[in-house]
Structure 1
């Protein structure tokens, strides 16, 4: 198993796969590092995660997943419609 999260300090490092587990936050993989220590990573940080079709089609040009962009758009829409004041305005 290889760690592929671009911002993790161990990105690109290979680990010995032990098992895939389901935790309260989602799927994780349990691995052994080069010194034989057990550690775990979120499944989506590894090369074992299912390929996102949008990111695959975009190639290296787009680091964002479709679901993340939709979630961001919903968050921004909620912030814009949620208050009496516009974004950046001070309340009295």
Structure 2
């Protein structure tokens, strides 16, 4: 298994795959590093996860997906509709 998260200090490193499991953090892979230590990573940080077509197509040129920006715009609009203009005015 290869760690592919671009900002992780161990990105590109190959680990011995042990298992994929669901934990309190979500979907993770358990691996052994070159020193034989057990560690885990979120599946999406590894080559175990399916390739995100957007990430491949964007090739580092776009940090945001259109659907995520649209969801953010909808959220902001809902706050405006409720008359909430500042963080201090938001209620849980």
> Cα deviations across residues 10-46 of structure 1 (Å, max 9, x unaligned)?
1121111111001233210000011000000000111
Out of 73-82 and 56-65, give the one that drifted further.
73-82
- Looking at structure 2, the residues matched to 38 and 48 of structure 1 have their Cα atoms a distance apart, in angstroms, of 17
Find the residue that maps to 1:61 and give its secondary structure: coil
Q: CA deviation at 1:52?
A: 1.6
Determine the structure 1 residue equivalent to 2:41: 41
Q: How does 1:1-92 map to 2 (within 5 A)?
A: 1-65=1-65, 68-82=68-82, 84=83, 86-87=85-86
Q: Which TM-score applies when normalising by structure 2?
A: 0.70
> Cα deviations across residues 40-70 of structure 1 (Å, max 9, x unaligned)?
0000111111122222222332243456445
RMSD: 2.7
Structure 2, unpaired ranges of 5+: none
How many residues get paired? 89
Structure 1, unpaired ranges of 5+: none
